[in-house]
Protein backbone atom coordinates (compact mmCIF):
# COMPACT_ATOMS: atom_id res chain seq x y z
CA UNK A 1 0.00 0.00 0.00
CA UNK A 2 1.27 3.47 -0.81
CA UNK A 3 2.14 6.08 1.77
CA UNK A 4 -1.12 7.82 0.99
CA UNK A 5 -3.02 4.75 2.21
CA UNK A 6 -4.42 3.97 -1.24
CA UNK A 7 -4.06 0.50 -2.68
CA UNK A 8 -4.43 -0.20 -6.41
CA UNK A 9 -8.20 -0.67 -6.21
CA UNK A 10 -8.66 2.76 -4.61
CA UNK A 11 -6.65 4.82 -7.09
CA UNK A 12 -8.74 7.31 -8.99
CA UNK A 13 -11.49 7.36 -6.33
CA UNK A 14 -12.25 10.39 -4.21
CA UNK A 15 -14.30 11.13 -1.12
CA UNK A 16 -17.23 11.91 -3.43
CA UNK A 17 -17.26 8.24 -4.46
CA UNK A 18 -17.77 7.01 -0.89
CA UNK A 19 -21.44 6.13 -0.89
CA UNK A 20 -23.29 2.83 -1.10
CA UNK A 21 -25.01 2.26 -4.44
CA UNK A 22 -27.37 -0.42 -5.76
CA UNK A 23 -25.76 -3.38 -7.53
CA UNK A 24 -26.77 -6.98 -8.19
CA UNK A 25 -25.05 -10.09 -9.44
CA UNK A 26 -27.11 -12.29 -11.72
CA UNK A 27 -29.16 -14.83 -9.73
CA UNK A 28 -29.14 -18.20 -11.47
CA UNK A 29 -31.19 -20.11 -8.87
CA UNK A 30 -32.97 -19.35 -5.61
CA UNK A 31 -34.21 -21.83 -3.00
CA UNK A 32 -35.98 -21.25 0.30
CA UNK A 33 -34.40 -23.47 2.96
CA UNK A 34 -36.45 -22.43 6.01
CA UNK A 35 -39.42 -20.24 6.87
CA UNK A 36 -40.19 -19.08 10.40
CA UNK A 37 -42.57 -16.57 11.96
CA UNK A 38 -40.38 -13.56 11.13
CA UNK A 39 -37.44 -14.70 9.00
CA UNK A 40 -36.68 -17.12 6.21
CA UNK A 41 -33.41 -18.51 4.89
CA UNK A 42 -32.52 -18.65 1.19
CA UNK A 43 -29.71 -20.06 -0.90
CA UNK A 44 -29.09 -18.15 -4.11
CA UNK A 45 -26.68 -19.19 -6.83
CA UNK A 46 -25.06 -16.10 -8.32
CA UNK A 47 -22.74 -15.38 -11.20
CA UNK A 48 -19.78 -13.39 -9.90
CA UNK A 49 -17.31 -11.19 -11.80
CA UNK A 50 -15.02 -13.38 -13.89
CA UNK A 51 -17.99 -15.64 -14.71
CA UNK A 52 -17.52 -17.73 -11.57
CA UNK A 53 -20.61 -19.19 -9.88
CA UNK A 54 -21.15 -19.45 -6.13
CA UNK A 55 -23.92 -20.10 -3.60
CA UNK A 56 -24.85 -17.38 -1.12
CA UNK A 57 -26.93 -18.25 1.97
CA UNK A 58 -28.72 -15.42 3.74
CA UNK A 59 -31.54 -14.60 6.12
CA UNK A 60 -34.51 -12.73 4.63
CA UNK A 61 -35.77 -10.18 7.17
CA UNK A 62 -38.61 -7.61 6.96
CA UNK A 63 -36.42 -4.86 8.43
CA UNK A 64 -36.65 -2.90 11.67
CA UNK A 65 -36.66 0.54 13.23
CA UNK A 66 -34.99 1.87 16.37
CA UNK A 67 -35.27 5.12 18.32
CA UNK A 68 -32.69 7.30 20.05
CA UNK A 69 -35.02 9.08 22.48
CA UNK A 70 -33.18 12.14 23.79
CA UNK A 71 -34.54 14.29 26.61
CA UNK A 72 -33.92 17.99 27.32
CA UNK A 73 -30.80 17.11 29.34
CA UNK A 74 -29.29 15.14 26.43
CA UNK A 75 -29.93 11.82 28.11
CA UNK A 76 -30.71 8.77 26.02
CA UNK A 77 -33.29 6.15 26.95
CA UNK A 78 -32.05 2.57 27.02
CA UNK A 79 -33.85 -0.63 27.91
CA UNK A 80 -32.46 -4.06 28.70
CA UNK A 81 -33.58 -7.22 26.94
CA UNK A 82 -32.46 -10.85 26.96
CA UNK A 83 -31.14 -12.00 23.57
CA UNK A 84 -30.94 -15.76 23.44
CA UNK A 85 -28.59 -16.24 20.42
CA UNK A 86 -25.79 -14.34 22.20
CA UNK A 87 -26.80 -15.44 25.74
CA UNK A 88 -26.68 -11.89 27.08
CA UNK A 89 -28.82 -9.18 28.60
CA UNK A 90 -28.24 -6.30 26.19
CA UNK A 91 -28.87 -2.59 26.62
CA UNK A 92 -30.77 -1.45 23.56
CA UNK A 93 -32.83 1.34 22.05
CA UNK A 94 -36.60 1.01 21.76
CA UNK A 95 -36.95 -0.92 18.50
CA UNK A 96 -39.16 -3.25 16.55
CA UNK A 97 -39.81 -5.09 13.32
CA UNK A 98 -41.47 -3.46 10.33
CA UNK A 99 -44.49 -5.70 10.70
CA UNK A 100 -47.28 -3.58 9.19
CA UNK A 101 -47.02 -3.44 5.38
CA UNK A 102 -47.05 0.10 4.04
CA UNK A 103 -46.75 1.75 7.46
CA UNK A 104 -44.50 4.85 7.35
CA UNK A 105 -41.29 4.05 9.19
CA UNK A 106 -41.57 7.00 11.55
CA UNK A 107 -45.04 5.80 12.60
CA UNK A 108 -43.61 2.35 13.25
CA UNK A 109 -40.88 3.95 15.37
CA UNK A 110 -43.39 6.05 17.31
CA UNK A 111 -45.43 2.94 18.00
CA UNK A 112 -42.38 1.11 19.34
CA UNK A 113 -41.36 4.07 21.53
CA UNK A 114 -44.85 4.14 23.05
CA UNK A 115 -45.13 0.36 23.37
CA UNK A 116 -41.72 -0.40 24.83
CA UNK A 117 -40.94 2.77 26.79
CA UNK A 118 -44.23 4.62 27.29
CA UNK A 119 -43.11 7.89 25.64
CA UNK A 120 -44.19 10.02 22.69
CA UNK A 121 -42.06 12.58 20.85
CA UNK A 122 -42.99 15.85 19.14
CA UNK A 123 -39.80 16.13 17.04
CA UNK A 124 -38.49 13.37 14.80
CA UNK A 125 -35.49 13.09 12.47
CA UNK A 126 -33.86 10.28 10.54
CA UNK A 127 -30.59 9.65 12.32
CA UNK A 128 -28.82 6.79 10.53
CA UNK A 129 -29.54 3.76 8.33
CA UNK A 130 -27.69 0.48 8.88
CA UNK A 131 -27.60 -3.06 7.54
CA UNK A 132 -27.29 -5.18 10.67
CA UNK A 133 -25.06 -7.88 9.15
CA UNK A 134 -24.96 -7.58 5.33
CA UNK A 135 -22.84 -10.68 4.88
CA UNK A 136 -25.63 -12.90 6.19
CA UNK A 137 -28.95 -11.01 6.15
CA UNK A 138 -30.79 -8.34 4.18
CA UNK A 139 -32.14 -6.82 7.42
CA UNK A 140 -32.20 -3.03 7.22
CA UNK A 141 -32.62 -0.82 10.27
CA UNK A 142 -33.55 2.85 10.29
CA UNK A 143 -32.59 4.61 13.51
CA UNK A 144 -34.59 7.73 14.34
CA UNK A 145 -33.82 10.60 16.68
CA UNK A 146 -36.84 11.50 18.84
CA UNK A 147 -36.89 14.68 20.93
CA UNK A 148 -39.36 16.85 22.85
CA UNK A 149 -40.50 13.81 24.74
CA UNK A 150 -43.46 13.38 27.03
CA UNK A 151 -44.46 10.36 29.06
CA UNK A 152 -47.72 8.74 28.03
CA UNK A 153 -50.13 8.34 30.97
CA UNK A 154 -50.78 4.67 31.57
CA UNK A 155 -54.50 5.08 31.01
CA UNK A 156 -53.82 6.61 27.56
CA UNK A 157 -51.30 4.09 26.32
CA UNK A 158 -53.34 1.51 24.49
CA UNK A 159 -50.38 -0.64 23.50
CA UNK A 160 -50.19 -4.09 25.04
CA UNK A 161 -46.72 -5.36 25.87
CA UNK A 162 -45.69 -8.47 24.00
CA UNK A 163 -44.38 -11.51 25.84
CA UNK A 164 -40.72 -10.64 25.28
CA UNK A 165 -41.22 -7.07 26.53
CA UNK A 166 -41.90 -7.98 30.12
CA UNK A 167 -39.05 -7.50 32.60
CA UNK A 168 -37.37 -4.87 30.41
CA UNK A 169 -35.94 -2.21 32.77
CA UNK A 170 -35.57 1.31 31.37
CA UNK A 171 -32.81 3.78 32.27
CA UNK A 172 -31.74 7.24 31.15
CA UNK A 173 -28.02 7.92 30.76
CA UNK A 174 -26.17 11.01 29.48
CA UNK A 175 -25.48 10.69 25.77
CA UNK A 176 -21.75 11.26 26.34
CA UNK A 177 -21.73 8.45 28.90
CA UNK A 178 -23.43 6.22 26.34
CA UNK A 179 -20.55 6.94 23.94
CA UNK A 180 -18.04 6.03 26.66
CA UNK A 181 -19.81 2.75 27.31
CA UNK A 182 -19.94 1.91 23.61
CA UNK A 183 -16.20 2.53 23.24
CA UNK A 184 -15.50 0.55 26.40
CA UNK A 185 -17.27 -2.50 24.98
CA UNK A 186 -20.12 -2.29 27.48
CA UNK A 187 -22.90 -1.81 24.89
CA UNK A 188 -23.00 -4.27 21.96
CA UNK A 189 -26.41 -4.02 20.27
CA UNK A 190 -25.70 -2.74 16.75
CA UNK A 191 -28.49 -0.13 16.37
CA UNK A 192 -27.74 1.12 19.88
CA UNK A 193 -24.04 1.49 19.04
CA UNK A 194 -24.78 3.21 15.72
CA UNK A 195 -27.54 5.39 17.14
CA UNK A 196 -25.63 6.58 20.21
CA UNK A 197 -22.51 7.47 18.20
CA UNK A 198 -24.53 9.13 15.43
CA UNK A 199 -26.59 11.19 17.88
CA UNK A 200 -23.45 12.35 19.66
CA UNK A 201 -21.90 13.40 16.33
CA UNK A 202 -25.11 15.14 15.21
CA UNK A 203 -25.31 17.08 18.48
CA UNK A 204 -22.34 19.24 17.41
CA UNK A 205 -24.47 21.34 15.01
CA UNK A 206 -27.71 21.05 16.93
CA UNK A 207 -28.92 18.24 14.63
CA UNK A 208 -29.14 20.67 11.68
CA UNK A 209 -27.62 18.18 9.21
CA UNK A 210 -30.07 15.36 9.92
CA UNK A 211 -32.53 14.17 7.31
CA UNK A 212 -36.27 14.61 7.86
CA UNK A 213 -38.19 11.78 9.49
CA UNK A 214 -39.82 10.80 6.21
CA UNK A 215 -36.59 10.70 4.19
CA UNK A 216 -36.54 7.95 1.59
CA UNK A 217 -34.24 5.00 2.11
CA UNK A 218 -31.50 5.08 -0.54
Pairing, β 119-131 against β 140-151: antiparallel
Give, in order, the Cα–Cα distances in Å from 94 to each of 1, 58, 60, 177.
43, 26, 22, 18
Tell me which DSSP letter residue 20 carries: -
The residues assigned a catalytic role are: 165
Cα–Cα distance for residue pair 61/52, rounded to 1 Å:
27
* 50 contacts: CB under 8 Å, gap ≥ 6: none
Amino acid sequence: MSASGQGPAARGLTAEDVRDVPASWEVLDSKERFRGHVISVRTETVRMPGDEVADRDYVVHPGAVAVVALDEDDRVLLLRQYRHPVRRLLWELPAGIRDIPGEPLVECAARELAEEAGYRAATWHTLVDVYSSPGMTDERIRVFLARDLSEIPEEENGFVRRHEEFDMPVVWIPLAEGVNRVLAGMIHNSPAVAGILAAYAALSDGFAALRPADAEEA
